[in-house]
Amino acid sequence: MNRPSWLLGSLLFCVLFLLSGCQQKVFVGFPTPTPTSALAASITVVNAEDAPMPPVGPRTVNPFLALRRSGVGRSSAPLETGGGPPFDWRETDNYLILGTDRRDGWTNWRTDTIMVVGLDRRLQRAAVLSIPRDLYIEIPGYGWGRINQVDYIGEKVLKVDGGGPALVSTVLSNTLGIQTGHWIRFEMNGFVSVVDAVGGVTIHLDCPFYEPIFNLTTNSWDYFTLPAGEVHMDGDTAYWFVRLRLRESDIGRARRQRQFLWALRDQVLQTNLLPRVPELWLAFRDSFTTDLTLLEVLDLLRFGISLDPANVRAAGITLKELQSYTTENGASVLIIADPEKVRAVVENIWDAPAMVDSNRQDSERCEPIPTGPPNVTVEAVPTPGSTPVPDTAPIDVPGGENGEENNETIGAEGQLDTGGG
């Protein structure tokens, strides 16, 4: 395979691998915090069937310090995206991206990262939509459950034709009106080595970043922190940046994943990957499955590389459109209480920011990093089950434009007690 083909293949692997929505792992070592305030975060972690706490590993990470780099990354004003006709999901090639926490020896898994990528080949543009893992939906042939259970249920419980991805696609069609034609499923293995293999990734943070993390060295909770500005991440740093979510929740994490995905794309395009092909192959060969052929993958990547940054928009369904709900079994989930709000996000995806600007913040309103350890407590709740849900309605088949923003609750590996689960 010639150099452009290797570049395209490596781009698929590198850019999409970060979507492996694995369970939060244990941090060993201590990233030097940069406290600036006496603020203390109080977080309640819910110990549920798919949310073991403290986070489980084990995983050994050497202490590291994120490095600033000048002249790299993106610190300018958000891109001017301009107009254009609505993005019609019925007329685009739609791909389902799944990231699972499945590990060697495990008999079940959750799909904690779910995205739909739509390609409008005629107008040379694309859109990316994130779906929260705690969205509570009706699963055909099964009952009600979180959307992050659907892949496993379809693959191992119902054993539908096409497996788990086919059932996820059916659920998305029934719930959001988006039909997907192909899928890629990523496992958690190899993320750190892949980022290191491409030389690390540089991103711009408008505000300092911090998330609670369990430190096995001290057997206590601490903060993982990154400074504002240009931050060059090695594999370990990047792993925690795209995985942690106790404070910002799954919805905030999805914004960071979209930002990092684009930065990784840029890094791959700027890097001569030929000397690193053996590393990349070893890291990726057991990390993903797909119904795409190699030729289809290469065609997809050629199209993706050709896109102008302003012509790739990204958004997600957030707490602005959803409502927190507790099931009869005590599970905290998110439901569609107002279908019109969700429909607006799906149909107006082309009004969303460019993907490169997925995680932009107001640098004049940054929260300072708290001093002292986070106040994290653990509560036990019953194992979630299939229970009825209040009156909700599926979304009609849409036609296209919008954006997404903040959130305050959390789901899964650890959750704020205000919702999400």
- Parent domain of 12: 3-380
Residues 223/135, Cβ–Cβ less than 8 Å: no
Kindly tell me if the per-residue pLDDT of 86 is higher than 90: yes
239 pLDDT band, cuts 50/70/90, is confident
151 Cβ contact partners less than 8 Å away, ≥ 6 residues apart: 98, 100, 109, 111, 164, 165, 167, 168, 185
Q: Whole-structure pTM over 0.75, yes or no?
A: no
Closest CA to 192 of 290, 72, 59, 352: 59
Confidence (pLDDT) at 38: 34
CA distance 186 to 100: 6
Q: How many residues does the chain have?
A: 421
Confidence (pLDDT) at 79: 77
Kindly tell me if the per-residue pLDDT of 347 is higher than 90: yes
Kindly tell me if the per-residue pLDDT of 91 is higher than 90: yes
pLDDT digits (tens, 9 = 90+) for 360-383: 999 999 999 988 888 887 654 433
Kindly tell me if the per-residue pLDDT of 351 is higher than 90: yes
Q: State how far the alpha carbon of 98 is from the alpha carbons of 9, 101, 176, 185, in Å.
A: 18, 10, 17, 5
Residues 355/258, Cβ–Cβ less than 8 Å: yes
Kindly tell me if the per-residue pLDDT of 9 is higher than 90: no
Question: Is 234 among the domain residues?
Answer: yes
CA distance 419 to 44: 11
Number of domains into which the chain is organized: 1
Question: Is 26 among the domain residues?
Answer: yes
Lowest mean pLDDT among 91-100, 126-135, 263-272, 404-413: 404-413
Question: Is 43 among the domain residues?
Answer: yes
Confidence (pLDDT) at 273: 67
Q: Name the average pLDDT for the chain.
A: 74
Kindly tell me if the per-residue pLDDT of 88 is higher than 50: yes
Confidence (pLDDT) at 141: 96
Question: Is 413 among the domain residues?
Answer: no
Question: Is 415 among the domain residues?
Answer: no
188 pLDDT band, cuts 50/70/90, is low
Helix, coil or strand: residue 306 = helix
Average pLDDT (338-348) is 96
pLDDT digits (tens, 9 = 90+) for 190-210: 677 778 878 899 999 999 999
Confidence (pLDDT) at 276: 66
Burial 221-259 (b: 16+ CB within 10 A, else e): bbbbbbbbbbbbbbbbbbbbbbbbbbbbbbbbbbbbbbb
Kindly tell me if the per-residue pLDDT of 117 is higher than 60: yes
Question: Is 89 among the domain residues?
Answer: yes
Highest mean pLDDT among 5-19, 189-203, 378-392: 189-203
Question: Is 375 among the domain residues?
Answer: yes
Confidence (pLDDT) at 231: 95
Question: Is 420 among the domain residues?
Answer: no
Confidence (pLDDT) at 305: 80
Please give the residue that has the higher pLDDT: either 279 or 3.
279
Residue 189, domain CATH = 3.40.630.190
Q: State how far the alpha carbon of 233 is from the alpha carbons of 35, 55, 73, 192, in Å.
A: 20, 22, 11, 10
Please give the residue that has the higher pLDDT: either 54 or 95.
95
Confidence (pLDDT) at 40: 36
Average pLDDT (135-148) is 96
